[in-house]
């Protein structure tokens, strides 16, 4: 069955748009330390995984494990190269940014990052956390934000409206997180960067018909973030 024929009503789609941001409020703002914050983090990630599965079993795996028939998609080699190059370019831009005044502001936030990492239990097992975020969590976010959220919005509104709204919701929980460490202006700049990344990845998904390319790109960007994060907490 084609995914476009399995659309959620707006009220259920609204839930998908806001739950990650609400979850971030709980585990980063309201209960930033201890078991409640850790539970809120875990439950939010379980929701991100399980909620789209309610549609996946009806819509099939087109765009996730395989591409929809009836269209000439880019070759798998092209998909892989595009994902690799885009990820390397974005990651390189991130590393270069750390040599600018913005990077200096990020380094100033190191003590606050360390406190939150210890409160959520990430510092003691940072390598495992970094692998989880870079490999598995990036794939989970692509599955949720690109296949599910963008895919649902695309069936309800114009394609650019879907790109922008999905990217805005994708940036929502990142804004909550960045506000805990950085001045408002810097948090907004970093969130805008996240939203641009969201648009790039949904455009890749739209053109390539698969999550593979945008997942590879996202994975490399998260590796860059984990390298910077490690430097901040050590």
- What tokens does 139 get? 């794939």
The length of the chain in residues reads: 234
Please calculate the CA angle 62-160-86 and round it to the nearest 5 degrees. 65
Query: Residue with structure tokens 């765009």?
Result: 63
Give me the pLDDT at residue 118, please: 74
In which domain, by residue range, is 129 found?
3-233
Average pLDDT of the residues of the chain: 89
- Average pLDDT in the 93-113 region? 89
Q: Provide the number of structural domains found in the chain.
A: 1
Average pLDDT over residues 115-143: 85
* CB environment 42-61: b (16+ within 10 A), e (fewer): eebbebbeebbeebbeebbe
Q: Which ranges in 26-119 belong to alpha helices (H)? A: 34-59, 76-97, 101-108, 110-119
pLDDT value at 5 more than 60: no
If you average pLDDT over residues 16-21, what whole number do you get?
Answer: 95
What pLDDT is attached to residue 1? 33
Q: From residue 136, how far is each of 59, 133, 139, 207 by CA, in Å? A: 23, 6, 5, 23
| pLDDT (tens digit per residue) in 160-201 | 999 999 999 999 999 998 998 888 999 999 999 999 999 999
pLDDT tier at 3 (50, 70, 90 boundaries)?
A: very low
> Residue 99 carries which DSSP code?
T
What does the alpha-carbon distance between residue 120 and residue 45 come to, in Å, rounded to a whole number? Answer: 14
- In percent, the amount of the chain with pLDDT more than 90 equals 59
| Bridge partner residues of 66 (DSSP) | 62
Residue 143 has φ and ψ, to the nearest 5°, of: -60, -45
- Report the distance separating Cα 192 and Cα 24, nearest Å: 17
3-20 burial by CB neighbour count: b if 16+ within 10 A, else e?
beebbbeeeebeebbebb
Q: What angle do CA 203, 142, 199 make, to 5 degrees?
A: 30
The 10s digit of each residue's pLDDT in 40-91 is: 888 999 999 999 988 877 777 788 878 888 789 999 999 999 999 999 999 9
The whole-angstrom separation of Cα 152 and Cα 146 is 9
pTM listed for this prediction: 0.90
């Amino acid at each position: 069955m084609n995914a476009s024929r399995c659309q959620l009503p707006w009220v259920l789609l609204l839930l998908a748009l806001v739950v990650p941001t609400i979850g971030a409020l709980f585990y980063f703002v309201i209960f930033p330390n201890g078991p409640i914050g850790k539970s809120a983090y875990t439950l939010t990630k379980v929701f991100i995984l399980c909620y789209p599965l309610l549609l996946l079993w009806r819509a099939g795996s087109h765009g996730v494990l395989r591409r929809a028939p009836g269209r000439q998609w880019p070759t798998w080699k092209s998909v892989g190269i595009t994902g690799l190059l885009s990820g390397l370019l974005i990651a390189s831009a991130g590393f270069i940014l750390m040599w600018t005044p913005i990077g200096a502001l990020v380094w100033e936030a190191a003590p606050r990052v360390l406190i939150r990492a210890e409160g959520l239990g990430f510092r003691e097992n940072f390598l495992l956390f970094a692998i989880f975020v870079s490999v598995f969590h990036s794939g989970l976010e692509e599955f949720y934000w690109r296949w599910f959220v963008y895919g649902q919005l695309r069936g309800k509104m114009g394609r650019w409206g879907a790109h922008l709204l999905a990217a805005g919701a994708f940036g929502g929980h990142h804004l909550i997180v960045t506000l805990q460490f950085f001045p408002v202006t810097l948090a907004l700049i970093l969130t805008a960067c996240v939203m641009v990344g969201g648009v790039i990845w949904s455009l890749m998904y739209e053109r390539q018909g698969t999550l593979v390319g945008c997942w590879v790109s996202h994975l490399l960007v998260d590796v860059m973030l984990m390298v910077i994060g490690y430097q901040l907490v050590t």
